[in-house]
């Protein structure tokens, strides 16, 4: 039996959903049907088991498009993704009290957000950019230049992007569901895992092109089932501008994770003797667009809350604060467009989580994890997310589990 089930659309392309045993809210189903009704969707829409409502397109959806891109189907945290590195340590090397290790990581990587957009007062930005981060900014390749030259070209072409984040946020964590964790795997080995994206600059790029696409729809009197599904037709100036900008944001996001990981590993090397990086390292996007071939056609695949899981490719599926995460190997499932879920997926909104759960609930749910246990992170408590065991059970034909990780330290902004 196939791992997916069909979601009835009534019209448009089919929807194949890997959601057996996982609840999906009606708002997300409506969004999937809206996307499936678009005439330039190729073959079908794939919904991952962590699927839930998002702006325009659901989080946890894989959408192959012929001749157009929907900016909202990529999202605004462009290039958001995961990185994990295995180390030479085992749990025996860890101290009983992990608060100093957590404090060391928090001191090494800016996190959170303060200052109401004033970078000079923002605890989540660099006041003085470290040399390694400045080097990454100057040297990380993008097209025929670097991150630095690429952003200069983007802001010259699109002045509204000029005030967005830049080098002062490269190598920083951010807020929300982004995190840095120290974990133990099934063999008691220590891993470092983190989750972040393109910070404010990706958000600015995403929002800018969503609005630009909406103006194009109004210009040509195109009516859509949801205004946030506004698209940019391939070959137009808007499409070409978006491809350049989204590519830059994806390059920034990958470099962002690499810079953070380097800082965390430096902390680990200072704290632990005989520390080495292990053989396994994974760095993957889960909010992005890529040109790929599927079912005999070259298409633009948007993965919004989904990880590429081609045959043999490694990916990361995190749980939430207090529950397991997974390093997985893709099975190359063609019906899923070589994809898998990007996490457990939210079971409720942040506002609902804050209404429903107390600080005491959160403390109990994160027992044994050195992390924030205050009211400021209740919207990230494990109960706000779907059951990761059910999510993994629903996608056994998409991935194999290679390593199971359980966090012992979790840093959040």
Q: How does pLDDT run across 358-368, given as a tens digit for each residue?
A: 999 999 999 99
Q: How does pLDDT run across 222-252, given as a tens digit for each residue?
A: 999 999 999 999 999 999 999 999 999 999 9
CB-based contact 71:407 (threshold 8 Å): no
DSSP 3-state percent helix, strand, coil across the chain (nearest 5): 35, 25, 35
pLDDT at 263 over 90: yes
**Hey, where are the domains in the chain?**
5-347+385-412
Catalytic residue chosen out of the listed positions 168, 178, 342, 362: 342
Per-residue confidence at 11, pLDDT binned at 50, 70, 90? confident
Determine the average pLDDT of the residues in 67-85.
98
- What pLDDT is attached to residue 119? 67
Share of the chain above pLDDT 70, in %: 98
Alpha-carbon span 217 to 229, nearest angstrom: 10
Determine the average pLDDT of the residues in 345-364.
97
CB-based contact 365:382 (threshold 8 Å): yes
What are 328's strand-pairing partners?
315, 401
CB-based contact 41:35 (threshold 8 Å): yes
pLDDT at 1 over 90: no
CB-based contact 194:82 (threshold 8 Å): yes
Tokens of 184: 């133990």
Which residue in 75, 69, 37, 40 sits closest to 55, CA to CA? 75
- What pLDDT is attached to residue 372? 96
- What pLDDT is attached to residue 265? 98
Alpha-carbon span 76 to 249, nearest angstrom: 10
Q: How does pLDDT run across 298-323, given as a tens digit for each residue?
A: 999 999 999 999 999 999 999 999 99
Which residue in 250, 404, 311, 333 sits closest to 49, CA to CA? 333
Alpha-carbon span 47 to 337, nearest angstrom: 10
pLDDT at 335 over 70: yes
What are 82's strand-pairing partners?
195, 284
Alpha-carbon span 23 to 20, nearest angstrom: 8
Query: Which residues 6+ apart lie within 8 Å of 277 measured at CB?
Result: 85, 86, 87, 88, 265
Alpha-carbon span 22 to 283, nearest angstrom: 27
Return the CATH number of the domain spanning residue range 5-347+385-412: 3.90.1860.10
Using the CB atoms, write b or e for 36-67: b if 16+ within 10 Å. bbbebbbbbbbbbbbbbbbbbbbbbbbbbbee
Alpha-carbon span 133 to 115, nearest angstrom: 22
pLDDT at 64 over 90: yes
Highest-confidence range of 92-101, 106-115, 158-167, by mean pLDDT? Answer: 92-101
CB-based contact 74:167 (threshold 8 Å): no
Backbone dihedral region for residue 130 (phi beyond 0: left; psi -120 to 50: alpha; all else: beta):
beta
Whole-number Cα distances in Å, 213 to 57, 72, 161, 232, 394: 14, 10, 16, 6, 35
Share of the chain above pLDDT 90, in %: 92
Alpha-carbon span 68 to 285, nearest angstrom: 21
- What pLDDT is attached to residue 8? 85
> Is 168 designated active site?
no
Length of the chain (residues): 413
Determine the average pLDDT of the residues in 106-123.
83
DSSP label of 91: G
- What pLDDT is attached to residue 116? 65
- Collapsing DSSP states into helix, strand and coil, what is residue 217? helix
Highest-confidence range of 119-128, 158-167, 346-355, by mean pLDDT? Answer: 346-355
- Collapsing DSSP states into helix, strand and coil, what is residue 321? coil
Q: How does pLDDT run across 197-209, given as a tens digit for each residue?
A: 999 999 999 999 9
Per-residue confidence at 117, pLDDT binned at 50, 70, 90? low
Tokens of 96: 């009983």
- What pLDDT is attached to residue 361? 97
């Amino acid at each position: 039996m196939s791992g997916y089930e069909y979601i009835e659309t009534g019209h448009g392309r089919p929807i194949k959903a890997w959601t057996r045993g996982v609840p999906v809210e009606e708002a997300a189903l409506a969004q999937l049907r809206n996307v499936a009704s678009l005439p330039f969707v190729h073959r079908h829409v794939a919904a991952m088991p962590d699927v839930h409502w998002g702006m325009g397109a659901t989080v946890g959806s894989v959408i192959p498009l012929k001749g157009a891109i929907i900016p909202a189907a990529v999202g605004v945290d462009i290039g958001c993704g995961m990185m994990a590195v295995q180390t030479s340590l085992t749990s025996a090397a860890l101290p009983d009290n992990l608060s100093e290790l957590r404090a060391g990581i928090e001191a090494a990587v800016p996190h959170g957000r303060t200052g109401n957009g004033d970078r000079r007062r923002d605890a989540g930005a660099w006041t003085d950019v470290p040399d390694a981060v400045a080097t990454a900014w100057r040297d990380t390749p993008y097209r025929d230049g670097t991150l630095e030259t690429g952003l200069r070209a983007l802001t010259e072409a699109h002045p509204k992007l000029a005030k967005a984040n830049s080098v002062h946020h490269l190598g920083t964590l951010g807020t929300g569901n982004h995190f840095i964790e120290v974990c133990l795997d099934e063999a008691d080995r220590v891993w470092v895992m983190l989750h972040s994206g393109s910070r404010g600059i990706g958000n600015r790029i995403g929002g800018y092109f969503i609005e630009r696409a909406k103006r194009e729809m109004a210009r040509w009197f195109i009516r859509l089932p949801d205004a946030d599904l506004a698209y940019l037709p391939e070959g137009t100036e808007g499409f070409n501008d978006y491809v350049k900008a989204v590519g830059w944001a994806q390059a920034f996001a990958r470099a962002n994770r690499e810079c953070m990981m380097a800082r965390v590993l430096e902390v680990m090397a200072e704290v632990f003797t005989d520390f080495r990086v292990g053989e396994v390292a994974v760095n993957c996007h889960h909010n992005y667009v890529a040109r790929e071939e599927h079912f005999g056609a070259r298409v633009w695949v948007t993965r919004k809350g989904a990880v590429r899981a081609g045959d043999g490719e490694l990916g990361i599926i995190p749980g939430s604060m207090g529950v397991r995460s997974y390093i997985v190997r893709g099975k190359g499932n063609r019906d899923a467009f070589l994809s898998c879920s990007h996490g457990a997926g939210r079971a409720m909104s942040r506002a609902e989580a804050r209404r429903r759960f107390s600080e005491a609930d959160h403390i109990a749910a994160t027992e044994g994890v050195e992390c924030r246990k205050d009211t400021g992170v209740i919207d990230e408590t494990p109960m706000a997310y779907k059951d990761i065991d059910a999510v993994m059970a629903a996608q056994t034909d998409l991935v194999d589990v290679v390593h199971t990780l359980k966090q012992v330290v979790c840093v959040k902004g």
